[in-house]
Amino acid sequence: MTDLADLLVGTGAVGAAVVGGVLYAFSAFGMPGLRNAEPRVGMAAMQEMNRMAPRAPLVVPLMLTAALSAGLAVAAVLGRVDDRWWVLAGCLLYLAAFAITVAFHVPRNEALDRVDVHGPDAVEAWHQYAGAWVRWNHVRSAAAIAGSASLVVALVR
């Protein structure tokens, strides 16, 4: 690869690893901790985290890595990078994680934000939200981390 291509693939690998690591932390101990708390407390804490997420430093690597992955995927399809299949796989895996975030997690986070933690349906809403959220978080975490690994393979081959 050219120096620029190496730099872009390496940046994509780091970005995907950062995002995947943060998401993995939620699966590993963040959500289990919230689910072990009293339901209304766990729900209120998650609502606050969801309100902070769009402003948090995670948004920069999340969005920039998605944009970079889209561009690198096009370059891979056009044969403009070495080890294009590894690059394409890494980009598509990361973009799958991003798509799950946008299509699954964001709408559910917004719906949870509309639930009154003191309302009669709060506990049931929290249990339904948390179970599905965690299952899909495992998937997006694995996709982002696998995407990073694939991009690293492209760099070292």
Per-residue confidence (pLDDT) for residue 87, from 0 to 100? 98
Q: Where are the domains of the chain?
A: 3-156
Per-residue confidence (pLDDT) for residue 157, from 0 to 100? 86
Q: In Å, what is the CA distance from 151 to each residue of 71, 77, 100?
A: 14, 15, 20
Percentage of the chain beyond pLDDT 70 is 99
Q: 41-96: per-residue pLDDT in tens?
A: 999 999 999 999 988 788 999 999 999 999 999 999 999 999 999 999 999 999 99
Helix, strand or coil, per DSSP, at residue 38: coil
Per-residue confidence (pLDDT) for residue 35, from 0 to 100? 97
Per-residue confidence (pLDDT) for residue 56, from 0 to 100? 73
Indicate if the pLDDT at residue 1 is higher than 80. Answer: no
d(CA 43, CA 113): 9
d(CA 50, CA 89): 30
Per-residue confidence (pLDDT) for residue 45, from 0 to 100? 98
DSSP-assigned states of every residue in 126-139: HHHHHHHHHHHHHH
Mean local confidence (pLDDT), 106-114 = 98
The model's confidence at residue 119, banded by pLDDT at 50, 70 and 90, is very high
Per-residue confidence (pLDDT) for residue 121, from 0 to 100? 96
